[in-house]
């Protein structure tokens, strides 16, 4: 009987120890599981934070690039700062109104009065809804304005399909933009097949006239490349008619929802008429621009005031620039198609159809090479940006783990 009791007690001790160790292991496993979940959650939260931070920076850069594609850099910075100020002020006003409505009691009569007044309030006009009222008008002196127009653009629109025409113009104006940036010129706007830009804004430069002339020669070379392709395939001769004038302008921002940066002045109008009265494949400049250029180039009198009434009224003396010394000369006969061309707000041109003389600029080959490389890389830019984003996230996490 004593042996049986001792065996029972030992069995009870064994069972108790078993339950004790089992409970201890269960508690340990549970604690380990909670710790693992916490660590993994912290890791994922950290990764999400880093990813969102880098993504936010990437999207901010994209937003900056989008804004810069609409507005010049010096204007976009001011607009962005004013918009941020307006948003901050609006949030503060809403917060103040919310606190004041909770802090003060209103009678039923006052509530009905305000409700009636609110419902009968006149809707805000577009100008009242405008996010900012500043036009950012700036005056610039000693600048040079370049107007360029594609000659024989109308027959090109007839013979090319819509998608081919858009692709051709996109390539053409894209190369113009790259050349303008290389020669320190700011593109203002595209008006159909008209391209105009300014050198000397926002940062004044003493070489503003030379910058526009160099850009003009480069634009002629770019169009010459396109013309060789189109002439063989379609039998259409295209060229550039370029007018340049130096003077002063006003620049500013227009529009409420669709912002537009533009320039105004009598000198800008003169530059427009210089292009209209110019010769295909040549650069047409005024006496003011020639004075800035000095002896940089050779000049031919052109008497544009005999071809344009506005130039005659303002007594504008004009010249054609001869190709710079040391450059190759290629004499080509250019034929301007007899199409009537309607241009928005640009007037008419009485320029004759004459023999043009183009010149190749030594720098143009490098610029065109860079243009082709940039356009070839544009197709994979989105994929590369995503890969770079994920690579940055992984690098940040690897450093955090170490």
Interatomic CA distance for residues 365 and 373, integer angstroms: 12
What confidence tens digit (pLDDT) does each residue in 3-37 have? 777 777 778 888 888 888 889 889 889 888 988 89
332: Cβ contacts below 8 Å, ≥ 6 apart: 281, 356, 357, 358
275-292 mean pLDDT:
92
Return the minimum-mean-pLDDT range out of 79-88, 143-152, 192-201: 79-88
Bridging pattern class, strands 356-359 and 260-264: unpaired
What confidence tens digit (pLDDT) does each residue in 183-215 have? 999 999 888 888 999 999 888 899 999 999 999
Interatomic CA distance for residues 221 and 96, integer angstroms: 61
Instruction: Assess contact for 186 and 201: CB atoms under 8 A.
Output: yes
Indicate whether 120 pLDDT > 60. Answer: no
User: Residues 254, 258, 262, CA angle at the centre, nearest 5°?
Assistant: 35
The alpha carbon of residue 252 and the mean position of all alpha carbons in its chain are separated, in whole angstroms, by 16
What confidence tens digit (pLDDT) does each residue in 63-83 have? 777 777 777 777 777 777 777
Q: What are phi and psi of 396, to 5 degrees?
A: -65, -40
25: Cβ contacts below 8 Å, ≥ 6 apart: none
Interatomic CA distance for residues 51 and 397, integer angstroms: 10
CATH topology of domain 138-378: Alpha-Beta Plaits (3.30.70)
Q: For residue 396, what pLDDT band results from cuts at 50, 70 and 90?
A: low
**What are the sequence ranges of the domains in the chain?**
138-378
Instruction: Assess contact for 367 and 218: CB atoms under 8 A.
Output: yes
**Core vs surface per residue 329-349: b (16+ CB within 10 A) or e:** eeeeebebbeeebebeebeeb
pLDDT at position 12: 80
Both ends of the chain: CA-CA distance in Å? Answer: 66
Residue 237's SS3 state is coil
pLDDT at position 363: 44
Catalytic positions are 149-150, 193
DSSP 89-132: HHHHHHHHHHHHHHHS---HHHHHHHHHHHHTSPPPPHHHH-S-
């Amino acid at each position: 009987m004593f042996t049986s009791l001792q065996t029972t007690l030992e069995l009870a001790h064994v069972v108790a120890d078993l339950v004790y160790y089992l409970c201890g292991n269960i508690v340990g496993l549970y604690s380990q599981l909670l710790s693992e979940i916490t660590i993994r959650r912290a890791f994922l939260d950290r990764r999400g934070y880093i990813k969102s931070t880098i993504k936010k920076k990437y999207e901010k850069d994209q937003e900056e690039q989008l804004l810069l594609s609409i507005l010049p850099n010096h204007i976009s910075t001011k607009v962005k700062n004013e918009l941020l100020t307006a948003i901050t002020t609006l949030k503060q006003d809403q917060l103040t109104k919310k606190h004041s409505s909770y802090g003060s009691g209103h009678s039923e009569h006052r509530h009905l009065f305000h409700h009636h007044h609110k419902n009968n309030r006149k809707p805000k006009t577009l100008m009242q809804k405008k996010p900012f009222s500043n036009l950012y008008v700036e005056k610039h002196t000693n600048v040079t304005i370049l107007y360029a127009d594609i000659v024989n653009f109308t027959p090109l629109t007839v013979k090319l399909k819509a998608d081919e025409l858009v692709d051709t113009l996109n390539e053409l104006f894209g190369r113009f933009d790259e050349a303008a940036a290389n020669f320190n010129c700011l593109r203002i706007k595209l008006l159909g097949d008209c391209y105009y830009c300014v050198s000397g804004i926002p940062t004044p430069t003493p070489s503003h006239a030379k910058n526009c002339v160099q850009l003009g020669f480069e634009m002629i070379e770019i169009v010459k490349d396109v013309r060789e392709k189109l002439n063989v395939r379609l039998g259409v001769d295209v060229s550039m008619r370029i007018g340049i004038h130096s003077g002063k302008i006003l620049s500013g921002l227009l529009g409420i929802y669709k912002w537009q940066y533009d320039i105004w002045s009598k000198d800008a109008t003169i530059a427009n008429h210089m292009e209209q009265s110019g010769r295909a494949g040549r650069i047409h400049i005024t006496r003011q621009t020639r004075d800035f250029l000095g002896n940089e180039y050779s000049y031919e009198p052109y008497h544009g005031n005999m071809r344009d009434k506005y130039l005659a009224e303002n007594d504008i003396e004009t010249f054609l620039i001869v190709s710079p010394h040391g450059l190759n000369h290629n004499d080509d006969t250019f034929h301007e198609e007899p199409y009537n061309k309607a241009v928005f707000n640009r007037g008419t041109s009485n320029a004759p159809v004459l023999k043009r003389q183009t010149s190749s600029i030594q720098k143009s080959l490098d610029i065109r090479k860079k243009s082709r490389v940039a356009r070839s890389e544009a197709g994979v830019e989105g994929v590369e940006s995503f890969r770079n984003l994920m690579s940055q996230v992984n690098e940040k996490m690897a450093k955090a783990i170490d």
